[in-house]
Amino acid sequence: MNNTEGVIVPNGKLPKEAQGLQLNFCKTLACDNFGLSDAEKYVLQHVNPKRPAMVCRECGAFPPLLNNQSVLDELQRLKQTQTDGLPACKNTSCESLGLSVHSHKHLYHSFGYSGQKQRYRCKACQSTFVDQWSESNHKLQIQESILGYLFTGHPVREICRRLSINPKTFYDHLNQIAKRCRRKLSVIDERWFKHADNYTLASQFVPLQPNSHNGVFWIASGEVESGYIVAQHTNYSEEELKESQDNFTTARIVSTSYTPEAQLPFEDTQADIRTRIDNKYQLILARDNVEDPLGNLAKLDYPLKGTLIHPHYTSYAHYLYLEQQLETDRPISIFMPQDPLLRSAALSVYLPRIKAESIDIVYVEESEGWQNSTPVDKHDIVHMGWWRDRWAITQQNTIESDQRVELMIEKAICVLAGKQQPSHWLQSASTRSISSYQRRFQVIFNDFVNEPRRRLRPAGINPLLDIFRAWHNLCYQDKSGLTAAQKLKLIDKTWTLKELLS
């Protein structure tokens, strides 16, 4: 336990609202206190860090407290990283911060040229900036080679040798390519955000570097059918960050002296799905803070540079970021694996949509080999975990042809918000496209991601994530011969690496 610092909020009080944002309330949908932020509905204590700071008087749930301002700080950090290199207002106190010229023309005036580059002025704050990428790419050839080598798994040292460049030049190129990718993708993303009739998303998170124990998680959300990735974030900042003034029992920034006390999680992947779900609930309850998966690490090796953020702050900011991109009048469905990290953030951020009944949030767990197209005729209902979550579980039997063994293929869903019946989601809900996206990254860049030198230096991976997302959405064809962006009719043909870079 290292979260005893900064106890500023007095007992019996909730953390202050920030710009109208108040995320502290009971997160049990069936509870009368769900979504209500009146302090008297909770037992609030900030003295004993071994006990929950907030307990719902109605249902007994103990959602961790959040510093609302820190969630907004985290959102601003994500936006700044995401829009680095985009032609957009850079003024951190301006409401147009990070909103690109391409998607928000009405916010800017053209303002002459700087050399070959177009200059713009922000209508809101009058600051000016140039579009760094409005001229053609003079380094196209070498950057195309770099990507070619990277995507075929060549180590950095080898790429530098073949192209006769030093590592610093390599990383400079990588950062420039990433900026170009962000810029190209932001235009295409915008087409989907603006024109989709509804948003069906899946979210997932994994450790960014599975062999490193550095506490960095990678949260991603994408369109379910096509696999088009719309947002991805990590809880790691290359910059040294300081906590905002209004500190609280649970901080946003992970202290360098943080030492997790958990045992290594035991995952029995052979067990039946009910046992696996049950084991997961035990793992969740073993955390200091149920929303923070850092509590499950057996050890934490803090990155050598930069700052680690508590992952739930990144998760709340991830969904806030999405909410700002999505049109408010269109329905959303979000599928996610069983974990409060994503669940609580989505249930809190989308509270207005839950009240308006325009959102479905569903936990999905399934065995490998599950076929979504097969109709589901019956399912069992089981209440599980401390929260008594209502799971629907069903089976498909398949016979493995060569060995003649019958395998039980199972799927379980839990409707967290929304009116649809479980049988509907058992047939359609899935997180498969997002997990295969994250798995593909780990496979293609295995050497790069797990290089021993990089274990405590995650910064070099950030540009690669941006490049991979652009490549995955625009250049990568699956079995159907189409890219994710083509399936959504956002582009009409597959892009080459050259088109991505020019």
Contact 72, 246 (CB under 8 A): no
Q: Does 461 bind Zn ion (CB under 5 A)?
A: no
Query: What are φ and ψ of residue 483, in 5° steps?
Result: -85, 165
3-class secondary-structure state, position 58 = coil
Nearest alpha-carbon partner for 122 in 92, 90, 93: 90
The amino acid occupying position 103 is S
Binding mask 133-162 for Zn ion (x = CB under 5 A): ------------------------------
Q: Compute the least distance from the CB of residue 241 to Zn ion, in Å.
A: 23
**Range in contact with Zn ion (rule: CB under 5 A) among 18-26, 298-306, 310-318, 414-422:** 18-26
Q: Does 125 bind Zn ion (CB under 5 A)?
A: yes
Q: Does 31 bind Zn ion (CB under 5 A)?
A: yes
Q: Does 7 bind Zn ion (CB under 5 A)?
A: no
Q: Compute the least distance from the CB of residue 305 to Zn ion, in Å.
A: 30
Token readout for 439 is 């798995």
**CA–CA separation, 117 vs 45, rounded Å?**
56
Contact 27, 348 (CB under 8 A): yes
Q: Does 297 bind Zn ion (CB under 5 A)?
A: no
Token readout for 234 is 């990590």
Q: Does 348 bind Zn ion (CB under 5 A)?
A: no
Nearest to Zn ion of 94, 491 (CB atom):
94
**CA–CA separation, 89 vs 111, rounded Å?**
13
**CA–CA separation, 51 vs 24, rounded Å?**
17
Question: Which residues in 432-451 contact Zn ion (CB under 5 A)?
Answer: none
Where helices occur in 232-306 by DSSP H, the ranges are: 273-285
55-to-43, 59, 211, 380, 497 alpha-carbon distances in Å: 5, 8, 36, 31, 53
Nearest to Zn ion of 8, 59 (CB atom):
59
Q: Can you tell me which of 9, 26, 216, 290 binds Zn ion, judged by CB under 5 A?
A: 26
Cα 31 from chain centre: 27
Binding mask 35-74 for Zn ion (x = CB under 5 A): ---------------------x-xx-x-------------
Number of residues that bind Zn ion (CB under 5 A): 15
**CA–CA separation, 230 vs 65, rounded Å?**
28
Q: Compute the least distance from the CB of residue 100 to Zn ion, in Å.
A: 12
**Range in contact with Zn ion (rule: CB under 5 A) among 73-81, 84-92, 341-349, 372-380:** 84-92
Contact 33, 57 (CB under 8 A): yes
Q: Does 33 bind Zn ion (CB under 5 A)?
A: yes
Q: Can you tell me which of 14, 15, 25, 28 binds Zn ion, judged by CB under 5 A?
A: 28
The amino acid occupying position 355 is K
**Range in contact with Zn ion (rule: CB under 5 A) among 13-21, 22-30, 64-72, 354-362:** 22-30
Q: Does 347 bind Zn ion (CB under 5 A)?
A: no
Question: Which residues in 90-109 contact Zn ion (CB under 5 A)?
Answer: 91, 94, 96
Count CB-CB contacts under 10 A for residue 409: 17
Binding site for Zn ion (CB under 5 A): 26, 28, 31, 33, 56, 58-59, 61, 89, 91, 94, 96, 122, 124-125
